[in-house]
Amino acid sequence: MNDAAHDLHAPHFIGIGGAGMSGLAKILAVRGAKVSGSDSKESETVLALKALGADVHVGHAAENVPAGTSSVVISSAIRADNPELAAAHERGIPVVHRSDALAALMGGRRALAVAGTHGKTTTTSMLAVSLAELGLEPSYAIGGDLDAPGSNAHHGVGEIFVAEADESDRSFHKYAPEVAIILNVELDHHANYASMDEIYESFETFVARIVPGGTLVISADQAGARELTSRLRDRHALRIVTVGAAEDADVRVVSVTARGMTSEVTVLFGGEELTFTVSVPGRHYAHNAVAALAAGAALGVPATELAKALGSYTGVRRRLQLKGEAGGVQVIDSYAHHPTEMTADLEAIREAADGRVLVVFQPHLFSRTQQLAEEMGQALALADASVVLDIYPAREDPIPGVTSELIIDAAQRAGADVRAEHAFAAAPALLAGLARPGDLVLTMGAGDVTNLGPEILEHLSNVATKA
């Protein structure tokens, strides 16, 4: 098979287990491509790909790239000295960025791209689940799993393709959607953007890629989104639909009422009130659902039907995902790693929790910590007590003087009860010792802090058994 300008009939993915890469590999495998790849470790995602017939190696080596490979697919996280990338260059195998591969997969479909500094995965997931619930058989590529390893992507027979549009490395400039969502516009990804002006320019480039006569759904509430909208008003070939609680919003959120771990949302849509349930807590998730509603309607899906279908969305892994309960303590996992996300999730959990909210937070990236430590500390002040781990480096090298202590100092200035834990393995026992029945423990961050949830539950069980 051949997709657009890139030959993807026998692709090799470096880092195939990653959230974005694994989804593309899955779709291509289902479409009949001969998929191979490598990842640094075995995982449930890797096993799911192997079950689809992908040839996946654990570890990176030049010999992992099979003979007959038509292209090597990489993400921005792959370093230039990766041996498989070097082998591709030596053998003259075309190297394709993940975003180009996704753009090729979207070719010939009615593309709906979800962009924004926060909320992309949740909103894309809401659309994927609700459109599938309506029998529209969408294809989708999401930055997280819905309910099982490998559920971050699907090849559907319908005409709609829903995908996250990642601004972090400007790769969302590759897409040409019929409908786009911009949830918010904030300064993040400091290694790639030096200022808000650069961020606005990047989002303007993305908007310019919307097909003529297409639709942009954008927040009417968030300051950066409103500024971007003001810069776009002269785009006559573009239909702009604003959504939010602001009085001037085209689709206005009238109310969001917390119902435990769900929310009841009422919107004014087309001059009529429409009420539906969102099965995850928090005002920000409710607003994501309203953006999904407006975008689906722009594709011609009846709003009343889509609103009802949105209630079938029950969450995505790592987005306020309940990991379990032990000793009367709930443990919930959050992917939040930017201060805005941290604040939103903590406020949502605060509404849903009966007892105290305890957080174990793992900062993600040295560059983000350097720029946003003060705001992260302020967000942690919303918890009753916090434990801060060392920085998860991901793709970055350390920056002198940048440690998690910057966040701890900021949190203490904001009045937070916060402490450091430099030994990752010691964190579960520490959290279990702090918690008491009725409390809620939140594991928060984009790194491997997610692995602590089951261990915390085990320690809580042991404490309860001895009591």
Residues annotated as catalytic are: 120-121, 164
Non-local CB neighbours of 60 within 8 Å, separated by 6+ positions:
14, 38, 40, 82, 83, 84
Judged by DSSP in three states, 11 sits in: strand
Token pair listed for 149: 């390893």
Please name every residue paired with 113 in a beta bridge, in sequence order, or none if there are none.
Answer: 163, 180
Judged by DSSP in three states, 216 sits in: strand
Please name every residue paired with 182 in a beta bridge, in sequence order, or none if there are none.
Answer: 115, 218
CB 460 within 8 A of CB 327: yes
Judged by DSSP in three states, 251 sits in: strand
**Amino acid found at 197:** D
| Cβ count near 90 (within 10 Å) | 10
Q: How far apart are CA 325 and CA 359, in angstroms?
A: 15
Alpha-helical (H) ranges within 176-246 are 196-208, 223-232
Alpha-helical (H) ranges within 146-256 are 196-208, 223-232
DSSP conformation letters of 255-283? EEEEETTEEEEEEEETTEEEEEEESS-SH
Judged by DSSP in three states, 333 sits in: strand
